[in-house]
Amino acid sequence: MITVRGLRKSFGALEVLRGIDLAIEPGRVTAIVGPNAAGKTTFLKSVVGLVIPDGGDIQVDGASVLGSWAYRRRLGYMPQAARFPDNLVVAELLGLLKDLRGAPAPHEAELLRCFDLVGTLDRPLRVLSGGTRQRISAALALMFDPDLLVLDEPTVGLDPLSSRRFKDRLAVERARGKTVILASHVMSDLEEMSDRVVFLVDGRVYFDGTIAQIRDRTREPTLERAIARLMEQDAG
């Protein structure tokens, strides 16, 4: 269980998170959605420890993660844009991360095959396309068998086959009881993958519920139309 209480973050005069309260249940996929500049990426980075909140708390299984690092051993993170050291080849990157983690990567071979990366192992990262880097990022997020997955726009840049394989793998992880938090603008992906939707507006929670509940509230047939309706209501 992840509990977020009163989470606040500002960058200078810009207040990005304005007191977010959430309880994220294990074994479910929670989608964080909202318009641009709603605070989605800042929220995700706060959960993984890349942004230090100005106030509030984040707890994993009842223990605060603020100022702590040990919980990150249980975490897999896929950022919005994959950035790696350009002077390394793919195999060296994998070895570096295994050394840093100090833990086995039980799904490494399986994920390299799944995302068609075996043939890239000896290639420098600087020559790889954005889509290939995104496939590497997906494999790295899953490779250490994490309990918690935090994914920021995970399917953007993936080709249709890789996107399909990624979503299939995510369904397997959910069935195994893993907790997933993801942000995406691709509503069809979220409708397929998610159990719950948290809609942020101006750094606050505007809606929190299941996809069925958001459809009922807006009387719209799809998640994309339902989110658009909420955005219209907020703008009005």
Neighbouring C-alpha atoms within 13 Å toward the C-beta of 39 = 25
pLDDT single digits (tens) 132-141: 999 999 999 9
Q: Are 42 and 88 in contact (CB under 8 A)?
A: no
Q: State phi, psi for 71 to the nearest 5 degrees.
A: -65, -20
Measured over the CA atoms of residue 42, residue 73, residue 91 and residue 110, the dihedral's sign is negative
- Residue 235 pLDDT more than 80? no
End-to-end CA distance of the chain: 35
CATH architecture of 2-235: 3-Layer(aba) Sandwich (3.40)
- Beta-carbon contacts of 226 under 8 Å, excluding residues fewer than 6 positions away, are 211, 214, 215, 217, 218, 220
- For the chain, what is the mean pLDDT? 91
- Residue 236 pLDDT more than 70? no
Distance CA 124, CA 129 (A): 11
Exposure string of 192-228, with b = 16+ CB inside 10 Å and e = fewer, is: ebbebbbbbbebebbbbeebeebbeebebeebeebbe
Extract the runs of DSSP E, i.e. beta strands, from 28-120. 29-33, 55-60, 63-64, 75-78
Average pLDDT over residues 9-20: 94
Domain boundaries, the chain: 2-235
Q: Are 30 and 180 in contact (CB under 8 A)?
A: yes
pLDDT single digits (tens) 150-189: 999 999 889 999 999 999 999 999 999 999 999 988 888 8
